[in-house]
Each structure stands twice: as C-alpha cells, then as structure tokens.
Structure 1
Amino acid sequence: MPNFTITTFDWVPELPRGYVRDIRLRWALEEAGIPYDIELTAFNERENAHYLHQPFGQVPWLSHEDKEIFESGACLLYIAEHNDELISTENRSSVIQWLFAALNSVEMASLPWTILKFSEDTFESDSSKAIERFLHSRLKHMNEYLRGKTWLAEQFSVADIAMADVLRLVDRFDGLKQYSYCRKYLEQCVSRAAFKKAYKDQLELYSRI
C-alpha cells in the first residue's frame, strides 16, 4: 500500500491545468518509483481544515507516515531523501543549492511575469517593463550556466524537477525563445517518462471533474 499521499485541488480552471504544482511531487515520486495516492481538497470553498494543512490555502501538501509537509520545494527535498536517485551524498549540496535557486532566484522573477502574461498585459508600463527585464536578466545567467550541461548537478535530481517546472511556465508564453540552452535543457527534462506520466495524470484528473 502506498504510504505517500499528495493532496491537491479537486478542480481548477482550464488555464492552469498541467501546471498545478502537485505535478512536481508526482514527477519526483514517479522518478523514484515510489507508489503514492492522490487526495483532493476543495478549490472553490476552502474550509478551515485546509489551512491547518497549508496555511496559505494552496496545494500541494505531502503526507507520509506521521508527517505532513507543504511547499513544493520542501516536499521535493523530503522525497529525494527517500531515494538515492534524486539526491546523493556526493551531490547533495549542489542539488540543494539549485533547488533553492529554482524557487528563489528564477521563479521569483518568472512568476510576476507569467501573471502579467496570463492577464494579457501589454508590457507598456514602466513596472511591467521592469518585471520583464528582471526575468530576462535571470534567464540570461541560467542560459549561460546550462551551456554544455545536461543537468544542474551532474545527474538528474529534484533540482531539475523544480527548475524545469519553473521554466515550463515561462516557455508557455515563448519566454525562452532567445535562450537556446534553457530550451534544450527543458526539452530533455520533459521528455522523461516520469514527467509525461505525471503530466498525463494531472490532466486526466481535471478532465474527469
């Protein structure tokens, strides 16, 4: 019986389907070959119980034995510590720094930009232009780092899961078109069987509801 459980929303609008962050946990568990269950929590009417598990009313959260963890990065690190393929003694420090970089350096720049893209902003205001410049400054450095590299930390790890998922959303709006190494890196990440399974399962969940 699976003893890992991912809790995610019972429904989301069409726009974010395939990008809800439980996909990061699904992907990691698929890579690790660890069985897991999916439990659902209400999207439209979030009850007090939801906030006991996730103080900000978001998803996902991960349950394992007597533990619960929220925030996708923390969940990824927890999963990795139960599988040598996703983090090892030799590359642990590198994986951790790149996991944090994906969420704190790249996603911090990409998320405001993608929100503006979702809202069909024209990027004519000074503030919108500043957000776009900030993102491109981060992508420029990522692109240079990825030159000649396959993975962020020598072998595929949870850092790549986090970074690829961040870059996927940028790529959805053609934000990577001038960053060839970022695009190549993303393509090899999402070509993995574990990602394809996680992505398919998330889409199927919301297509049934």
Structure 2
Amino acid sequence: MNRYIKAMEIGLANEKKGITYFDLLEKLQLELDYSFNSSAEVTFMSWFNENFESHNNVNLNNSDYNEGMNLYLDNKYGVIGEITDPGLKKYYEFFRSFRSKNYFLKGNAAKQYLDYQELQQSVKSSNSARSWAIISIIVALLAIGISAYSVYSSPNPPYDVKIIEDNTRMDELQKENKQLKEELFKAEMIVKVLEEKSN
C-alpha cells in the first residue's frame, strides 16, 4: 500500500476528531516502515494540502507559511541546525503551530478511498472467479481425458455370430417318420385285404 492510500485510510479512521500533519507522518512511517526525505515530504505535503482541511485554514501562498515550511524542512533534514534567529524562529513556529492543528479528510478524498476499497474487492473477487474457472476447466479436461481413455482402452465390440443349424438329426427323424408311415400304410392294406377275405 502506498503512503497516499494509507494516509486516506488513517484520515478516514480519524474523521471525528481529526489528526495533525505530524501525527499522520509518524503513523505512515511506522505502519509502512517508510522514511520520508525532503523531496518526498514536499510532495506529500502538497497532496495533504489538497486532500485534508482544518477549521483554521491559512493561505498556503502566504510568505510566512512558505518561509516556515522551508525552515522546517531544512531543519528536519539536516540542512540547517537549530533555529535561533528570532526573526526566522517566528516563521518556523508559525508553520509548526499551523501543522499541529487537527485536519480532516475531505469528502472527495474519502470517496476516492472508498472507490479504491471497492476496486480492491472487485479485483479480489475477479481473481477468485478466475481461479475457480481455471479449476473448472482443468476438471472438465480431466473428465474428457478419462472418457477418451476409457473409449480407447475398451474392448472391441463382439463379432457377428452366425448360427449354423445342424439339420442332420432332423433329417434322420423325418426319414424314420416316413418309414413308419409307409409301414403303417402297408399294415392297413393287409388288414383291409384280410377283412375282405373274411367277408
């Protein structure tokens, strides 16, 4: 998380009582393990001026404010030592007191942070959906592979079976039947001839 997003998160968390510029810097450095240098703080201060407001706003183009800011940065980052000159100390103290007031995150910045949170949630949901889609595709490919393998490795369908009837026994039975009929016919003829003779 970058320092601007984190600053908006801290500002939103302190929306009721506000937070001083110096407390915000300290929290950022602790929570992000980040060390500001002079250039980074100037950039951050410019962003802070656009996204936070105090009930006691001052004209940021005021020469007293700008002189105090330069003295603060030079002192903090070792360009100059302790400020003892009463004329310069007045600007330095003015800047320090101005930045020690409680500031509140502006509505537009709060909305940007909430939009960022929604975007992060959407990205998380999208990544989760993509992971499930990949898993589904892998499962489908495995199912197709298993069914293709089972078709390939299954035995071939049985060959056509031709039934050959053995009519030999049937022919023998028909022959025997024919012989019996002939003998029966002969016996009937003999019986008729004998009856005629006996009459």
Which TM-score band applies after superposition, normalised by the shorter structure?
A: under 0.3
In proportion to residue count, which structure has more strand?
A: 1
TM-score, normalised with respect to structure 2: 0.28
For the pair shown, the structure with the greater C-alpha radius of gyration is 2
